[in-house]
Amino acid sequence: MAITDQQQAEISAQREASSPTRRATVPALEAMLFEARPVLDHGFVRVVDYMGDDAAVVQAARVSYGRGTRRTTEDAGLIRYLLRHRHTTPFEMCEIKYHIKLPIFVARQWIRHRTANVNEYSARYSILDREFYLPAPEHLAAQSSVNRQGRGDVLQGAEAAEVMDLLRGDAMRTYDNYAAMLNENPDGTPVDPDRQGLARELARMNLTLNTYTQWYWKTDLHNLLHFLSLRGDTHAQYEIRVYADVMLESLLAWVPVTAQAFQDYRLGAVSFSAPSMAIIRRMLAGEAVDQKGSGLSKREWTEMMQSLGRDG
């Protein structure tokens, strides 16, 4: 993870500063504030601000004043009920803001979650760093033969080495060309005073999608849970799933009761369609049902059987 000395000094200053408040605070998350958690080869996730806690969810659900006199077990039971029955509005009362450094191709997948406030580093105004994501050997996989969105076997030997050389070479070459087109020193002066550099907003188009960008990403708890349920799933692309894993750690520190209910009812759960439930009931009644007699497509049948832990 590449954090400059200046960035580290800023992070240290932020972590050392404190402000009195009457707002609810969470000691476990306070301890994580501003700390950059490494992800991939140059990326990171850090929490920079938050609002609310588990009690805020309960308070919103009951529309009460203050924290009340309910027992903790009652509050936990209510949160679990809300999540189990998808009563989402109380979770929208809590918010969290992250500072994230990630490859551009991951950012373009991530931005599909349109229920957040995002402010990204602008290559129109600033020069991007010479930092690229290069997969570790165990994540350098071929295209899956059965899933258009998935990966197959890991590449080996000369083929893997060739791909790594291509990825590294393309990234370095296009960045060198990007820098040459800009014709700018770090202080903004031209490298070659006798020629004009290309505008930053045009030069950036030459960069590869594994170049790193950064953004601030703020969302409410409900939409964070939705993000994590999709991107933390084992079927999600590895390069975004590892970010979800780190964010799940902050969720556990911030709202532990909600996080546990989320893991029980969403992240570790499966759902069945109405036709699938009808077939499961027939199976439980002792009827022998196969895919041909089920009315399900072959893919839906396979997914149902996998969820049940049975061979298709």
Please report which confidence band the pLDDT of residue 153 belongs to, taking 50, 70 and 90 as the band edges: confident
| Domain assignment of residue 76, yes or no | yes
How confident is the model over 6-35, as pLDDT tens digits? 777 877 787 777 778 888 899 999 999 999
Number of domains in the chain: 3
| Domain assignment of residue 29, yes or no | yes
Segment 214-228 shows an average pLDDT of 97
* Known catalytic membership, residue 80: no
What are the start-end ranges of the E strands in the chain?
37-39, 43-51, 95-103, 117-120, 141-143, 151-154, 212-220
Claim to verify: residue 246 and residue 198 sit in the same structural domain: no
Claim to verify: residue 109 and residue 154 sit in the same structural domain: no
How confident is the model over 49-92, as pLDDT tens digits? 999 999 999 999 988 655 555 667 789 999 999 999 999 999 99
| Domain assignment of residue 312, yes or no | no
Report residue 297 as tokens. 């497509």
| Domain assignment of residue 30, yes or no | yes
So what's the pLDDT on residue 33?
94
CATH number at residue 216: 3.30.1360.170
| Beta-bridge mates of residue 101 | 44, 214
Claim to verify: residue 147 and residue 126 sit in the same structural domain: no
CB neighbour list of residue 61: distance below 8 Å, 6 or more residues apart:
78, 82, 87, 90
How confident is the model over 173-211, as pLDDT tens digits? 999 999 999 999 877 889 999 999 999 999 999 999 999
| Beta-bridge mates of residue 213 | 102
Final residue of a domain: which of 209, 232, 253? 209
* Positive or negative: CA dihedral 129, 130, 132, 137: negative
Catalytic residue among 231, 241, 266, 282: 231
More confident site: 149 or 29: 29
How confident is the model over 118-140, as pLDDT tens digits? 999 999 989 999 999 999 988 88
Helices (H) and strands (E) in the chain, counts: 13, 7
Final residue of a domain: which of 209, 234, 258? 209
Please report which confidence band the pLDDT of residue 1 belongs to, taking 50, 70 and 90 as the band edges: very low
Claim to verify: residue 62 and residue 97 sit in the same structural domain: yes
So what's the pLDDT on residue 150?
66
Claim to verify: residue 10 and residue 113 sit in the same structural domain: yes
- The domain in which residue 181 lies consists of 134-209
Claim to verify: residue 17 and residue 56 sit in the same structural domain: yes
Final residue of a domain: which of 181, 209, 237? 209
CA dihedral of residues 23, 29, 33, 38 (deg, nearest 10) = -160
So what's the pLDDT on residue 171?
96
For the beta carbon of residue 2, count every other beta carbon within 10 angstroms: 14
Claim to verify: residue 223 and residue 100 sit in the same structural domain: yes
User: What value, to the nearest 5°, has the Cα angle with vertex 277 and ends 272 and 280?
Assistant: 115
So what's the pLDDT on residue 212?
97
Claim to verify: residue 27 and residue 124 sit in the same structural domain: yes
How confident is the model over 243-288, as pLDDT tens digits? 999 999 999 999 999 999 999 999 888 899 999 999 999 999 999 9
Claim to verify: residue 58 and residue 176 sit in the same structural domain: no
